[in-house]
Each structure stands twice: as structure tokens, then as C-alpha cells.
A = this chain, B = another copy of it.
Amino acid sequence: MHAAMAKQTSDDLIAQKSKRWPGLHALANKLGVSHTAVAMALRDDPRISEGLRKRVKSLAVEEGYVASNVAQSLLSGRTSLVGIVVPSIVSTFMGRLLQGITDGLQKDGCLPLVLCSDLDVQREKDALEAIAGKRADGVIIVPCLEDRGEDHFINLLSQHTPIVAVDHPLPRMDVPLVCSDDDLGAELATRHLIQKGHRRIAHFAAPIDSPSADRRREFAYRRVMEQAGLEPVVIHVLDKKLTVNLINTTLSEFFESAQGKATTAAFVFSDAVAYAIYNYAQDHGLRIGEDLAVVGFGGAPVARLNATVTLDIVRPKLSTVEQHPQQIGLAAVEVLRRLAAGQPVQRQTLIEPHLLEFESSAKQVG
């Protein structure tokens, strides 16, 4: 076993000693010129002779000079940092949203500072204070659902830093919102089922104690049903705490009732709950797509091989409403950019959702 192999063992220790980054001063001293001259040479200022410029640049590469943004920020008042506050990172929606935000920021040369509120208002506040301390040039926040007091830190922050809310509004605050047009999404889903010939369409809805923004889907469903002269049937499968056990109980109760037995289609406020219905159906000999049409909400239900390649894993494939979270993220950055430029922005920017029609609701009935 030679030395290279031994290095692979986990007993081998490693230590890194951190040297200070070389500054303009260090370069200037080595060249016997002023640090100002070095700075100008690096920025290709025409006032510096080509000879010095070349000497400076090659020394900079040699010494590994990287300009300190912290010094530049202190001077310019801009940090190129944007604070992102999300309730959680671990969900497909948040992942795609963050991807959109980071892609958008990259074009502006800004870097995202990602903080997690864990749906806790206090931690949300802490996150915003940290962002304020860092003097971020802007903030994008997916607010907690809980109500904040009038004196929330956001009120102070927004006086100094452009803020955009995503997904949920910040009630009573002058903060622009970017979100999916859930009203339209629910309308698309409900209309689709009606067009497929269904008359008895149940809606499995968000918890009844959710903030009203979360219940837009339910309201839109009710409106479309009533406009079509059909009776809305709304089932709340979850309470706010998302107790999983409650789901199966509620599903049993509903599908064993007379109303449930007559139901031929379900529009579900979340893909996850739609899959719970899949499982219930399988256990009770109900065929999804045949006996019961189902439309979910939230985007393509898939297993991810990597960032771009996905595989369908559930059959029949679930029809669903795609919210385009990545586009929401891009739009949020765009609104932030306008705000930072002092341009007026719309109080609300709605991203258009699309119905993805698959086997779970493909069959024409009636």
C-alpha cells in the first residue's frame, strides 16, 4: 500500500491554515506604487500606463488577489446580497421556487442568503434582523401563515430595503405579493371535470382554519360549481396540524356516505392528499380514472433522477394544476429589481397556472 492509498483512510487527519487574502496594499508594496494605482490598473483605467497595468495584473493573478466586496460594500452602500426567508427548504415547491429565485438573482449578480423560518414568526423575525444586519439589497419572503403584530420588524426593514412577499401576502403591510393564481387554477380543474361530464364533483379542501389565501381554491371551486348549477361538496380532510391519521378516517366517512357513493370526481387541494385518495381507492376497489376521476394541485407528481430528468412513479398518472414555482421565483426577483430601481410595481403579481391533464381524469362520462 503506497502513500496515496494511505491518504484515503479515514484516520488520516487534515488541517487547513487560513492565510489572509492579499490586499491592494500588498500588491502596491511589491510593485513600489500606490494602492490607488493598483486599483485603477485592475479596473483598466486608461490613466494607467499599459506597462504598469500588465505588471499589476500578472502580480494580482500570481498572488491570488480577489477584491474584497466587504470593503466595496461599505463604500457603495450595496452588498449584492438578497435575503430569502422561507418556511422550509424541504419540499418540491420550495426547491423549485428557490431555483427560480437563485437563477433570477444570478443575472443581477446578486447572491441569495437563504434563511429558514420553520413557520415560526419569532424565527422569521430573527432571520429578517440578520438580513438587515448584513445590509442585504433586498428581501424575498415566503411569510409564515401566522399573523404578526403591527410592530413586526418587517415594517422597519421595508423602510430601508425592498421586500417582496411570495405565495402568501403580508397582511396590513405595503409589501408587493407574487403568487400563483390559485383562483384560476381551481377554476381550470373544476371546469375540466365538468367538461368531462361529471356532475357530482367533490372538493377535498385545505384545512378550514387556514388563512383565507390558502382557501382561494375552495372558493373558486364553489363559484364554478354554482355557476354551472351544480352542488358544491367540500370535505376538509386535514386540520391545520396536518394529522395524517385523520385523512383515512375522513375519507372512509365520506366515501361510505350516500353523497360520497354518488361522487364521480374529486378535485383535491394538494397532490399529497390526492395520493391518499389513491390509496384509499385501491383498498376499497375503487378505480382511479374509471370509477373516480381525480385532479390534484401542485405540479407534476414525479420521482426526480436529477434536476431535469424525472420519472412518473404513480399510476394512473395524476392530473394536476402546475403552479410553476420556478417562474414565481423569477417574477419575485423581477419585482424586487423594479422596486430597487425605484419603479412602481403591482401590488399583486399573479403567475398563471396550467392544468396538466393525465389519466386520472381522462375519461369522458355521462
Chain A contact residues, CB within 8 Å of chain B = 7-21, 64, 66-71, 73-74, 77, 79, 81, 87-92, 94-96, 98-99, 102-103, 106, 111-116, 118-119, 129-130, 132-135, 156, 158-163, 174, 176, 238, 242, 244, 247, 270-273, 275-276, 278-279, 282, 301, 303-307, 309-315, 339-340, 342-350
Contact = CB atoms under 8 A, between A and B. Distances in A.
Number of copies of this protein chain within its complex: 2
A199 to B, nearest CB: 29
Contacts of A73: 70
A118 B99 CA distance: 10
Contact of A134 (B92, B111, B307, B315): B111
A311 B279 CA distance: 10
Nearest to A79: B70
Contacts of A15: 339, 342-345
B8 A348 contact: yes
Contacts of A88: 99, 306-307
A158 B88 CA distance: 31
A304 to B, nearest CB: 5
B304 A275 contact: no
Contacts of A16: 158, 162-163, 174, 339
Contact of A307 (B69, B118, B156, B161): B118
B68 A71 contact: no
A181 to B, nearest CB: 10
Contacts of A135: 21, 68-70
A309 B345 CA distance: 36
B64 A17 contact: no
A159 B343 CA distance: 43
Contacts of A242: 305-306, 309
Nearest to A109: B130
A11 B345 CA distance: 9
Nearest to A155: B64
A310 B273 CA distance: 10
Contacts of A276: 311
Contacts of A90: 92, 95-96, 99, 304, 307
Given A73-B70, A309-B242, A346 B13 contact: yes
